[in-house]
Chain A
């Protein structure tokens, strides 16, 4: 099956700093990547959809300037949490898919736990 990795798996940072999370599709080319946020004991909330080579599409209520998404290649998307604050602490999960090739080709990464002190 297709493998998606995320790096780092855990990160702790100080309030006011920026954190970059990488999402890579290891054995396939991902035309679309999705970023989700999950609070403890809650469901996944879609933050944004990114297509390779174009700007990300953010969901309503998600700050574009706060959560910078870059999808520079077919195997890599990055999420940068800028000027992080404790309320940004969460579990961030990416998924990668080849949407044009069918509705079931979306594969999830293992997640990144961000803790902002």
Chain B
């Protein structure tokens, strides 16, 4: 079975500051890793994904994440955030042998002016 832990439930940060949202996973099989963003009362939008290859993946809106197999982590980073980045962020894992996505608890990113 797979599980995902997002270590921070809320992350307040000032505009133009860097941010890191932490995600750790556990799995006995190889996995695919995703980060999604959810704005209020909306569905999920894919930010980026790791399937294989380079461990540093770049996504939309200036976000990037690094897959670290030894630490079973997939932290999301952005060097300079904007007010519009305020949203809920979900890390998710998908096992290589099923189609199911397992989500973390979510991290609320609150960007302050």
Which residues of A line the B interface, CB within 8 A? 4, 6, 32, 34, 41-46, 49, 91, 93, 95, 97, 99, 103-104, 106, 108-111, 113
Contacts and interface: CB of A to CB of B under 8 A. Distances in A.
Decide if the interface of chain B is mainly helix, strand, loop or mixed: strand
Contacts of B84: none
A41 to B, nearest CB: 8
A108 B51 contact: no
Pick the 6 closest A-B CB pairs, nearest first.
Answer: A99-B99, A108-B44, A110-B43, A108-B43, A103-B32, A43-B103
B32 A44 contact: no
Nearest to A6: B43
Interface residues of B, number: 22
Contacts of B104: 43
B94 A103 contact: yes
15 contacts: A6-B43, A32-B99, A34-B99, A42-B106, A43-B90, A46-B102, A93-B44, A97-B99, A99-B99, A103-B94, A106-B99, A108-B44, A110-B42, A111-B41, A113-B41
Nearest to B108: A41
A43 B43 contact: no
Q: Most A CB atoms within 10 A — which of B32, B44, B105?
A: B44
Interface string B13-51: 000000000000000000010101000011111100101
A34 B105 contact: no
B101 to A, nearest CB: 7
B96 interface: yes
Interface in B81-107: 90, 94, 96, 99-106
A49 to B, nearest CB: 7
Nearest to A106: B101
Contacts of B32: 103-104
Given A46-B100, A109-B43, A111-B41, A103 B106 contact: no
B100 A49 contact: yes
Nearest to A99: B99
Contacts of A42: 105-106
Contacts of B41: 91, 111, 113
